[in-house]
Amino acid sequence: MIGRPSRPRSSSRRTHRRRPVAARLLVAAPVADPDPDRGRERTPAPTPAVLDHGDDRRGATSSMAADPNRRELLRRAGLAAAGAVGAAVATSAVTAAPAGADTGSTMISGHVNRAESSTEIYYDSAVELDHNSVLLVDDSSSLPPLFDSSAIAGVATTTTKVGVVGLGTTGFGIGVKGVAATPKGRGVVADNPGGAALNLVPSGADPRTRASLSPRAGDLHCDQDANIWAHTGTAFRKVAGPATAGSLHVLPSTTRIYDSRLAGGRFATHEQRVIAGNAGGGAPIPPGATAAMVNLTATNTNPGGFFAVFSAAVAWSGSSSVNWAVPNTTVANMAVVAVDSLARFSARMEGAGGADLVVDVIGYYA
């Protein structure tokens, strides 16, 4: 094979053409082979020439020109640089999407994020989200829901921990607010099949005595004595508490629990008996009830007298519940009577002679 004749090149041209080669190969190495003659018979390098730089390096020979394998060396250098760049890109891709975020790292959506201390997010008026919200979470995504499509879910694993805490610190600040955007929606739902769904922590005095409050209609308060108060918009009303009777539960049908004509006979003057509220079918006054609504009937009466009913836990106070003024008559009266912890109350007869007593339960308070 006849080689091409060597063309003499000036030192200035050699300098101009050789120096950019390495840079050009480093950039192009990942996408092109810098040695198009690789695999062919190589032509010996031209005779070293003197480089004229116009300075004290005149007369020095070019080691690059003298090395017959310079192109192979440059090719290897380019490939090594490309490998380093590829490794850096791969490392960057891995660190950009870790499996989760640790303390000090950016929070990553869709992954478990753990931290050794609390994460605080403060509201900045310059970056408003939704009605001055500090944090807005939208559950409208089609991804699998968490806890029945909850936007925010809080989980407490022990009795001393709290899943979600809201704190209002100034003015009319609101700790937690739930808003339903549709008529069938629910702003807040509390659910606990195995226990209490909602707990109001007792604190503070009777809200009627606290001038620092700015009550609004619908407010609920639980004072330090465990009394629950509701505000109507004009005043507080006690709806529950240790000293309240609770709600009236009306029985499906009136139930008779006592008839002296069938057991015990007529009451004598000043006689007092204990009547069990759970007598009769279905225990009409259950244990734990605070009071009972009853119908009292006095029959076979003496010329004049009365019956009094009151809690079995206290003494008679001198009151009366049903009265009569003629002998051998029948008279009835409805009364609300307090009961003790066993749902019992006492009946006392006063007057000359005696009378029979019949007691029917209409309902109870609890």
What six digits make up the tokens of 273?
A: 């008996």
Spacing of C-alpha 170 from chain mean position: 22
- The per-residue pLDDT for range 179-234, each reduced to its tens digit, is 888 888 888 888 788 888 888 889 999 999 998 888 999 999 999 999 999 999 99
- The per-residue pLDDT for range 12-67, each reduced to its tens digit, is 444 444 444 333 333 333 444 545 555 455 555 444 444 444 444 444 444 444 45
pLDDT at 134: 55
- The per-residue pLDDT for range 244-292, each reduced to its tens digit, is 888 999 999 999 999 999 999 999 999 999 999 987 666 799 988 999 9
pLDDT at 219: 92
Residue bearing tokens 């009094």:
308
Across 323-350, average pLDDT: 96
- The per-residue pLDDT for range 137-158, each reduced to its tens digit, is 555 544 444 444 556 667 666 6
pLDDT at 234: 93
Residues 6+ apart with CB under 8 A from 180: 186, 187
Is 2.60.120 the CATH classification of the domain at 248-365? Answer: yes
The residue length of the chain stands at 366
According to DSSP, the β-strands at 305-311 and 344-351 are antiparallel
Mean pLDDT of the chain: 74
Distance between CA 307 and CA 350 in Å, rounded?
6
pLDDT at 61: 43
Q: Is the pTM of this model over 0.75?
A: no
* b (16+ CB within 10 A) / e for 174-213: eeeeeeeeeeeeeeeeeeeeeeeeeeeeeeeeebeeeeee
Residues 6+ apart with CB under 8 A from 328: 300, 301
Domain parsing of the chain, residue ranges: 14-34+62-80, 210-240, 248-365
On the question of pLDDT at 108 being above 90, the answer is no
